[in-house]
Structure 1
Amino acid sequence: MDLNLKRTKTVDSDLVSPESTSMCPFPDEVLEPVLSLINSHKDRSSVSLVCKDWYHAERWSRRHVFIGNCYSVSPEIVAGRFPNIRSVTLKGKPRFSDFNLVPEDWGADVYPWLVVLAKAYPFLEELRLKRMAVSDESLEFLAMNFVEFKALSLLSCDGFSTDGLKAIATHCGNLTELDIQENRIDDLGGDWLSCFPESLTSLEVLNFASLNSEVSFNALEKLVTRCKSFRVLKVNRNINLDQLQRLLLRAPQLTELGTGTFNQDLVTRPVADLETTFVNCKNLLTLSGLWDTNSPYLPLIYPACASLTFLNLSCATLSSFELAMLLMHCKSLRRLWVLDTVGDRGLEAVGSWCPLLEELRVFPADPFEQEEVAGVTESGLVSVSRGCPKLHYILYFCHQMTNAAVATVVQNCPGFTHFRLCIMNLGQPDYLTNEPMDEGFGAVVRTCPKLQRLAVSGLLTDLTFEYIGKYAKNLEILSVAFAGSSDLGLKYVLGGCPRMRKLEIRDCPFGNAALLSGLTKFESMRSLWMSACNLTLNGCRVLAKEMPRLNVEVMKDEDSEDSQAHKVYIYRTVAGPRRDAPPFVLTL
């Protein structure tokens, strides 16, 4: 039977009982439009399990598909299941590839997916890729084979150059979005921006902030001028203040702006003109960039700050005073990203001026600095928690922390869904008591019932993992590094945490016994990563034999012993072992 031929229902009313009709009282003409209003992929998956009629209605009405692991399913299976897809989100390599723990040629090539998608969905409009291997040939294939293509997002991908962007700019005549973020890209120059045709007027989102080459400002200005629906513009640091003003004069309707360099020795226009330009940006909700910020120019953005809900200062090395002066004008902020150069005094200002804040990320200005630097401490985090009761997402890099401070933070903000604390000194205990950080993270999981994501650090014993397994009932993602005392720690986690989806572990003393204790857990999880632990090939083989629906992959290093499993990636799949595994990946 051809699954792509939609059947019409012909039912003899004399043969249908009232009980059977009561299960699905809605005809497809009613049910499919209703289901099309559901955007959450989790909710849609739940809907498809109600009954066969709802399964088929959901199948035909779905326009977007999210695939969290490109090897969990094959593109052929996706195409057979969903005939009317217009948008695809696809993730590839494990997250630890961001830390160079996954070899570059590991896999996750998007090209095989594109070949199948081109046949199944020639009218595909949107593709969002994360940690995928993307070649210039793949981008050219994409540009030439999807006639209605509109939106491309590449996040943390690798393998392509600006020549690939030329193909997208040249051939995608209906493009509305081109979002290039944090990719390992071969930047051959900025002339790709000049390849957009003069007829293109549909662009709404353009982000090339992470590229280094100087682009043709004349081409950029013309593009912004003729595309009247621009909402998001994020430029790289080569765009100076004068050029930024010219762009804003032509697109005052922007809701998201990523500026270029904010430090200019020679400004040809009066400073008052620059400030007036920001006054006219009345719809601005997100601001980022601000490279090389110079204090005299920072007040230029004050007029646009009142409506800001997201301020990304992860590229701006602000002092505590500069941040405090800026935040006085940002009382509607919900999200804030800063560098640790703001210090604890800067975070005190966050607590004083941002009562609506929901998310805070504090990044290290120099993550590879060996010497002790000031940065931020537990004091700054406590100050934020006191003034921001709605805080539910924290990513915090620091050099010291205490159990008491962590307990105070979660008491002040018990609604945490994401708590990611990175104490950068490996194995660092509570620096005041010299005790492990067990009680601090124990307070997190006891006090925050909505917790979905947790990253732990510092000196931790198995007691931390006992707390996690016992209390973290809604935890979905756990990241662990340089922690634990024995196999018992991982056993606690795998024996609890009923909603666990992703588990990421590196440099921990967990071995085969701990791994095999999770046999009943792994099929309900998306993936497990373990590196530099105490696993062996024999232990992994036992797991693969007991759980044939899992892919158990062992990555061999040149200097690792044959019997050891130094890097192990385990994931649920309906596609079987992948066909493109390189020689150093052993699939068990």
Structure 2
Amino acid sequence: MRGYDRINSFLPDELILEIFRRIHAKSNRDACSLVCKRWLGLERISRDKLRIAASCKPDALTKLLARQFINVKNIYIDERLPFPLPVSFGRRRGGDQPRFLSVNLPRALEDEETSSHSLSDAGLIAIGEGFSKLEKLSLIWCSNVTNAGLKSIAENCVSLRSLDLQGCYVGDQGLAAVGVCCKQLEDLNLRFCEGVTDAGLIELAFSCGSTLQSLEISACTRITDLSLEAVGSHCKNLVTLSLDSEQINNKGVIAVAKGCRLLKVLKLQCINVTDEALQMVGMYSSSLELLALHSFQRFTDMSLYAIGKGCKSLKNLTLSDCYYLSDKGLEAVASGCLELTHLEVNGCHNIGTKGLESIGRSCRNLLELALLYCQKIGNEALAEIGRGCSNLQALHLVDCSSISDDAICSIAKGCRNLKKLHIRRCYEVGNKGIIAVGENCKSLTDLSLRYCDRVGDEGMIAIGQGCSLTHLNVSGCHRIGDVGMTAIARGCPSLTYLDASVLQDLGDAGMAELGEGCSSLKDIVLSHCRQITDVGLSYLINKCKLLQTCHMVYCPHISSAGVATVISSCPDIKKVLVEKWKVSPRTKRRAGSIISYLCVDL
């Protein structure tokens, strides 16, 4: 019967709440809440997460939200996030009114004259008093909050489990209050918290150390080994530790290694830590699964010997700018850490072919390999990876000058489950290797060949015939033109991201084929493509209605008319990067907030 409500008359609140809990996309939840007042109220009750941009009167906004969403458990506030502004996307068909993606500020915010554009203690007090069920709070670069606001959070949100204070200038009193009141705290991020000293962290470790599982410290100049000794003594359940500090020495790391036997994740960027500390990690941290060592100047292969001997459960290893490591250290890891699945070697100039060969022979479960700026690693190393690591799914190569087509062919034939292949500035890699990838790696979805200038249309034809890509980056591969892009367009209909910048021979024919074959495209980069004109751009835009970002700087044949076509034809467009002089006053009025300029005024 017309006018008879078959839903609200029969469905109880509990069932509708359960439906809302199963809807994860915010846009879908917002749409459902507009059905009626009852659904709006129930959606507000079911909402457990809030994401707030701290750049438009956040204090007043938090007060308003606290009255409406009473069951929120997770709040994320980032001072760097811009508050969305009205955006025009052209005129409605048959009408004179422009279409807007608008955000109407509640009158409570408009009338709040004293509210600043940064979150302050008043906002934190509102959060503490309004969200008593809060379990996770992230305050990213909220530099105006102080100890008073943090103490209010601690006293009111006693169920807090995760606290991210990155970039907040809070001090010891606030941190100590968190330790005293929040006895369930598990995760704490103190990156760039310059106001915290040993006193605050020691008090927190003493008060709630038994529950703390994750701790991040970076650029906290007044946190020293004394704090880590307290962590080692009181935080027996610590699982993750990330340290980036010039103040930390061997003593602090050793205290954690000896005291926190459940440690699984250890990330270190501490220039004063030496072999002595890493040897203790190898001796005591038998549960370690992830180890990341960055910019170490004072430890040698002796550290990796200890890791290989003691950390049999290690699965993920990152070695970045560790100049004194050699093949022998990597061989020790390979022989001892047979469960290794992820390896990154970045700028370790003394690690070469032999070290990586040992990984290929011993670590059969390797899933991801990244070699960055490894000039001494040659083709035979990747040949051994191809023979031994058949489950490899991702390979990253950056500035590896000794790697050529032979290595890529070995990977393609041996690692047929490869899903991601990223190669940048490996100038010996050309069509031969990429053709082998297209013929053998049928599961490949993500391919990046930035500035591999020996790759041309032949390689793209093989990829188009053999792989169904969703992401493709061929920036700087100037031998690729319309023929290669046509093959991609016809063979990869699921393509959503394309970077075709600096392709001098790509023209309107390629654009037309992309529009016809890749209607799912969301992000495209066409900068420095000198043959593409407004005509080719219109071919693409007429079919790719899902486009969200478009970069087209230094395209001399794309004019202000082409820019306007992109703006008016793509309802989901969020960012257009173009030269300032190509944006007409009318286009700027209609969509100024989504246009970015490479250069403003020269």
TM-score relative to the length of structure 1: 0.67
Q: 2-side partners of 1:469 and 1:117: how far apart? A: 51
Q: Deviations over 1:154-187 (max 9, x none)?
A: 89xxxx5x73587974665545323477xxx6x9
Given the alignment, which residue of 284, 289, 299 partners 2:288? 284
Q: 1-side partners of 2:152 and 2:412: how far apart? A: 51
Q: 2-side partners of 1:511 and 1:83: how far apart? A: 54
Partner residue in 1 for 2:89: none
Deviation for aligned residue 1:545: 3.3
Q: Deviations over 1:34-67 (max 9, x none)?
A: 87478xx569959988997999777754534689
For the residue of structure 2 that corresponds to 1:349, the secondary structure is helix
Unpaired stretches in structure 2, ≥5 consecutive residues: 83-115, 435-452
Identify if the C-alpha distance between structure 1 residues 354 and 579 changes in structure 2 by more than 3 Å, giving closer, same or farther.
Answer: closer
Counting only pairs closer than 5 Å after superposition, residues 184-583 of structure 1 correspond to structure 2 as 191=197, 194=200, 197-198=203-204, 199-201=207-209, 202-208=211-217, 211=219, 213=221, 215-236=223-244, 238=246, 239-259=248-268, 274-275=279-280, 278-289=282-293, 291-292=296-297, 293-317=299-323, 318-339=325-346, 341=349, 342-364=351-373, 374-376=375-377, 380-400=381-401, 406=408, 409-423=411-425, 435-444=454-463, 446-449=465-468, 451-457=469-475, 459-460=477-478, 461-462=480-481, 463-483=483-503, 485-488=505-508, 489-504=510-525, 506-509=527-530, 510=532, 512-520=534-542, 524-534=546-556, 535-547=558-570, 550-553=573-576, 562-563=581-582, 578=593
Q: Deviations over 1:199-244 (max 9, x none)?
A: 3434321123x53847321123213433343221122364334432
Equivalent pair of 1:453/1:477 in contact (CA under 8 Å): yes
Query: Higher relative contact order by CA 8 Å / sep ≥ 6: 1 or 2?
Result: 1
Deviation for aligned residue 1:442: 4.8
Equivalent pair of 1:139/1:164 in contact (CA under 8 Å): yes
Deviation for aligned residue 1:313: 1.8
Identify if the C-alpha distance between structure 1 residues 197 and 225 changes in structure 2 by more than 3 Å, giving closer, same or farther.
Answer: same
Identify if the C-alpha distance between structure 1 residues 345 and 472 changes in structure 2 by more than 3 Å, giving closer, same or farther.
Answer: farther
Equivalent residue letter for 1:528: C
Identify if the C-alpha distance between structure 1 residues 546 and 580 changes in structure 2 by more than 3 Å, giving closer, same or farther.
Answer: closer
Equivalent pair of 1:540/1:552 in contact (CA under 8 Å): no
Equivalent residue letter for 1:540: V
Q: Deviations over 1:301-321 (max 9, x none)?
A: 124432122112234343333
Identify if the C-alpha distance between structure 1 residues 26 and 196 changes in structure 2 by more than 3 Å, giving closer, same or farther.
Answer: farther
For the residue of structure 1 that corresponds to 2:356, the secondary structure is helix
Equivalent residue letter for 1:211: A
Equivalent residue letter for 1:421: I
Equivalent pair of 1:456/1:479 in contact (CA under 8 Å): yes
For the residue of structure 2 that corresponds to 1:136, the secondary structure is coil
Q: Which has the larger radius of gyration?
A: 2
Deviation for aligned residue 1:249: 1.4
Equivalent pair of 1:441/1:456 in contact (CA under 8 Å): no
Deviation for aligned residue 1:252: 0.8
Deviation for aligned residue 1:253: 1.0
Q: CA RMSD in A?
A: 5.4
Equivalent residue letter for 2:48: R
Identify if the C-alpha distance between structure 1 residues 396 and 296 changes in structure 2 by more than 3 Å, giving closer, same or farther.
Answer: same
Equivalent pair of 2:575/2:594 in contact (CA under 8 Å): no
Deviation for aligned residue 1:141: 9.6
Deviation for aligned residue 1:444: 4.6
Unpaired stretches in structure 1, ≥5 consecutive residues: 1-11, 95-108, 366-373
Which segment is superposed worse, 56-65 or 304-313? 56-65
Q: Deviations over 1:278-298 (max 9, x none)?
A: 344243221112623312232
Partner residue in 2 for 1:136: 143
Equivalent pair of 1:258/1:289 in contact (CA under 8 Å): yes
Q: 2-side partners of 1:336 and 1:115: how far apart? A: 46
Residue-pair matches, total: 511
Q: Percent identity at matched positions?
A: 19
Given the alignment, which residue of 78, 86, 104 partners 2:73? 86
Partner residue in 2 for 1:7: none
For the residue of structure 1 that corresponds to 2:302, the secondary structure is helix
Identify if the C-alpha distance between structure 1 residues 389 and 200 changes in structure 2 by more than 3 Å, giving closer, same or farther.
Answer: same
Equivalent pair of 2:524/2:550 in contact (CA under 8 Å): yes
Which segment is superposed worse, 479-488 or 224-233? 479-488
Identify if the C-alpha distance between structure 1 residues 550 and 204 changes in structure 2 by more than 3 Å, giving closer, same or farther.
Answer: same
